[in-house]
Amino acid sequence: MAQTSTIIAPSFKSAHFIGIGGAGMSGIALVLHERGFDVTGSDLKTSRYIRQLTRAGVDVRVGHEAKTIDEVMPDVVVVSTAIPDTNPEVVRARELGIPVWPRAKMLSALSQGYTTIAVAGTHGKTTTSSMCATMLDRMGLDPSFLIGGIVEGYDTNGRNGKGSYFVAEADESDSSFLYLDPNVVVVTNVEADHLDHYSGIEEIEATFVKFMNLVGEDGTVVVCGESSHLVDLARSTGLHVVTYGFDASCDVVCTPDAAGHGLASRFGVKLPDGTERQVTIKSNPGRHNMLNASAALTVAWAVGEDTEAAAQALSSFEGVRRRFTHVGDVRGVTLVDDYGHHPTEIAATLNAASSLDFKHVDVVFQPHRYSRLQALANDFADAFAQADKLILIDVFPAGEMPIPGVTSKMLADLVAERHPGKRVLYAPDRATLMGYLDAEVEEGDLLITMGAGDVTQVGPEYLDHVAEANRDGR
């Protein structure tokens, strides 16, 4: 049954978000606004998230100016990890003695008094947290949620529910998830990433252990049993740990249906009490998404909810935008867009794609951050093993300065060297890319655009390119 709790109202009345257009920041700002707080924000340019906020009535300024702080005079300023200390609004806020909080501290303030479910991991956390939120909502429990992506069926990344549950995607990129106060922690995996912040995998693992410890003696740590090392890390906390995975040794066992179901996945989940539930995920194929759904159902079991109702609700999950999202069909080619930007995510998505009924799996990939590409170049080179054709476009810097020699052309050459015979191309501009797509992608193919940057625009651009060619009779 649903948890009962006393919601604790934050002590401040107004907040200004610098970098409000980010996926994480915008959701927090939206929920705070929905709770009746005075919310303002600024960002360098407008975006889908900013348009959502302005429609809701939030005052968002385009550009960062010190005078904005004097005009809005917030009780607290919230910053994203992309905002440097030299930002003029940050500088002015500190001159005026206004507290400057990282976004996770505000997220923690919003979750006080709720039964908080925090989902973390190098990859899979957006999908898994979205599954948890959808499941609880469609059970009639009206959770609040803050997710780093647009949840399909809700058309938002944040919502202020009236129920007692709070689902949060916990971002490990800068260790700020340590501000949270969760009752249940889910960790999907721990791998090397965000090496612009961490010194290496040892520091990353130590930080995740601190995160798991946040649940305290009465909480539950839910971890993927596919990684014995992750299980060891979790059990080192001495807390209540529940594992999920395909192996019978896990506390929660996922058993895939052997029959193919197109883009859907069907599987059984055996829970620690011996009950078995059937789940169908209709638009997110692959074993990795079966694991994500098993984690969500484990959460329902851990908090004492009806797991049969939870399985039915979970089966209504419609996906997360940019997680194997169908963009369109043209010339007999199916276009899909995916956020995968880490080698493990890419390999998992391509493994799922290769099991589908397409002639070829073709990929347009945009590396995200020079530091990530430099640190994981060899892993990236092998991640595309199941792609039939690969086209690389230039790195999306995400605020980083270029690193000499670390380029998409370098990655293209490395993939070709390590996988002789694979068709690998580098497109230095959009015109070249469109030409490659015309020449390389065939009827019956699946074309996946992948990456965390503006590669998401390539699919729609290609649809427009083909439509224009048809009008011109080409």
| Residues annotated catalytic, as ranges | 125-126, 169
Beta-carbon contacts of residue 429 (< 8 Å; ≥ 6 apart): none
Radius of gyration from C-alpha coordinates of the chain: 22
Q: For residue 447, give the nearest of 395, 384, 379, 390 by alpha carbon.
A: 390
Beta-carbon contacts of residue 392 (< 8 Å; ≥ 6 apart): 365, 366, 367, 408, 409, 411, 412, 415, 424, 425, 426, 427
Q: Is 123 annotated as a binding residue?
A: yes
The secondary structure element, H or E, covering residue 297 is helix 287-302
CB atoms closer than 10 angstroms to residue 295:
30
Q: Is 162 annotated as a binding residue?
A: no
Using DSSP, state whether 307 is helix, strand or coil: helix
Q: Is 270 annotated as a binding residue?
A: no
Task: Show contacts of 244-253: CB within 8 Å, 24+ apart.
Answer: 244/291, 244/294, 244/295, 244/298, 245/291, 245/294, 246/287, 246/291, 249/225, 250/225, 251/225, 251/298, 252/294, 252/297, 252/298, 252/301
Q: In what order do the strands lie in the sheet with 100-102?
A: 59-62, 38-43, 14-18, 76-79, 100-102
Q: Is 126 annotated as a binding residue?
A: yes
Which pair of structure tokens corresponds to residue 421?
């015979």
Q: Is 125 annotated as a binding residue?
A: yes
Q: Crossing angle, helix 343-354 and helix 287-302, to 10 degrees?
A: 110
Q: CA angle at residue 438 from 365 to 396, to 5 degrees? A: 25
Q: Is 340 annotated as a binding residue?
A: no
Answer for the pair 134, 141: CB distance below 8 angstroms, yes or no: no
Distances (CA, A) of 207 to 69, 173, 299: 34, 10, 22
β strands within 207-360, DSSP E? 220-224, 240-245, 252-256, 265-270, 276-281, 325-330, 333-338
Q: Is 121 annotated as a binding residue?
A: yes
Answer for the pair 168, 118: CB distance below 8 angstroms, yes or no: yes
The secondary structure element, H or E, covering residue 352 is helix 343-354
The annotated binding site for ATP is made up of: 121-127
The annotated binding site is made up of: 121-127
